[in-house]
Amino acid sequence: MNQDPRSHGLWADSAPPGPDTSYLGVGEPAVDVLVIGGGFTGLSAALHLSQGGARVAVLEAQELGFGASGRNVGLVNAGLWLMPESLPFLLGPVYGPRLLRILDHAPDLVYQLVQRHDMQCQAVRNGTLHCAVGAAGFREIRARWQQWKQLGAPVELLDADATARALGTAAYRGSLLDHRAGTIQPLAYVRGLAQAAVRAGARLYTHSRVRAVNDGGTHWQVWTDQGKIDTSWVLVATDAYTQDIWPELQRQQIRLPYFNMATRPLDKRQYAHILPKGEGAWDTRKMLSSFRLDQDGRLIFGSVGALRGVGTRIHENWGRRALSRLFPELGRVEFDYEWYGHIGMTSDALPRLHQLARHTVSISGYNGRGIAPGTVLGRELARLILGQIDMADMPLPLTEPARAPLKSAREALYEYGAMAAHAASDRF
């Protein structure tokens, strides 16, 4: 997929191939909608637009899933990182409940698409566990549990014993089990969306980095190095990996690095007690950790940090120490794969809907919760462009991109802070 083995790691080796694609050339037929970016948002939009009868092309700078979509943990969660109650507080009485409602059911859409289009993406829907670290962590998940419960969501608060049975480690004070959620192989899901979009009629172009979007009066002219295509609408789905176009999208996000490491396939007897029901898990620490199994019994363990320079060794060593504290029975673990990517964070942890120009829209800034939200908000962008809903009906208010204060300093703080925390950490 990509020359750098630290870009997509295990996912690149275990995903079935995607559809055949080529780069955009000259003389390509015009489309109604040109989607920029081949991740969850862009491909879900392309699928739903094509199903709605629009002529659609997707331009991806590298390979499908090159951005965060092909690198993530694969936790298909409902809602956002924010507490449910804070959405109406931050977005007001119209958009708050509307966004909450749509994200409450967002995993349903993911698993329906997987089933309907027969995607081979290791989809498991046995919930996820948000694990409480200490008393403060438990208070946090109890508040989440109460808030979701009030909204009628199928969530359970597990005590320390039940959590230890579910996880196979006694490291946590309790957990929030969310039955709406599950896990997938994220790159395989990207490719499944791409196959479905192609079958619905979309044209997908890879190694086609958009360099310019020019106003042709009645239409847009979208230029790559080798080609050009005319379109009525432009849908920008480039999130934290935005290059060249609309730099304000980049400027409004703080990029947080996150890495994953996958062990060798474990012996069935070794891991029978680790996540026996196949949930995905992550914890309440600020420098959080996540873990899950894949279909071959590899344990995938992740945390904040970039696998580059001295960070690589620091995070690898920390990963080994942390895993052997969580699951001492595994002995010294070896990692077959390591990879990392960047999460696009916004100042208030909410995604953003922008109208960047006439008939040009974008959604970005998922703050680490992009599988289900990207899928469902991609569909909502498609419905907007198809004229099935108005801008005022969207689940997010339209805003102007705003520069994130102290962007470079905060990005450095994430990267070097994670190194310092992992180098110093001897606890788990």
Binding footprint of ligand FAD on the chain (CB under 6 A): 36-42, 59-62, 66-69, 71-75, 77, 209-210, 237-245, 258, 340-343, 366, 368-371, 374
Burial of residue 185 (number of CB atoms within 10 Å: 0-12, 13-18, 19+)? buried
Which one, 66 or 270, has the nearer CB to ligand FAD?
A: 66
- Measured distance CA(145)–CA(152) in Å, rounded: 10
Which one, 18 or 39, has the nearer CB to ligand FAD?
A: 39
Smallest gap, in angstroms, from Cβ of residue 151 to ligand FAD?
A: 19
Which one, 150 or 226, has the nearer CB to ligand FAD?
A: 226
Which one, 58 or 266, has the nearer CB to ligand FAD?
A: 58
Beta strands in 218-305 (DSSP E): 220-223, 228-236, 254-263, 280-283, 289-293, 299-304
Smallest gap, in angstroms, from Cβ of residue 242 to ligand FAD?
A: 5
- Measured distance CA(102)–CA(96) in Å, rounded: 10
Smallest gap, in angstroms, from Cβ of residue 159 to ligand FAD?
A: 25
Q: Which residue is nearest to ligand FAD (CB)?
A: 370
Which one, 71 or 93, has the nearer CB to ligand FAD?
A: 71
Smallest gap, in angstroms, from Cβ of residue 27 to ligand FAD?
A: 20
Smallest gap, in angstroms, from Cβ of residue 278 to ligand FAD?
A: 15
| Locus of tokens 């959604």 | 363
Q: How far is CA 62 from CA 58, 193, 244, 293, in A?
A: 12, 17, 13, 28
Residue 28 has which token pair?
């390509």
**Helices 371-385 & 186-199, crossing angle to 10 degrees?**
20
Smallest gap, in angstroms, from Cβ of residue 143 to ligand FAD?
A: 21
- Identify whether the C-beta of residue 45 lies closer than 8 Å to the C-beta of residue 379: yes
- Measured distance CA(37)–CA(418) in Å, rounded: 29
Which one, 243 or 346, has the nearer CB to ligand FAD?
A: 243
What is the three-class DSSP state of 360?
Answer: strand
DSSP 180: T
Smallest gap, in angstroms, from Cβ of residue 338 to ligand FAD?
A: 11
- The amino acid sitting at 210 is V
Which one, 41 or 360, has the nearer CB to ligand FAD?
A: 41
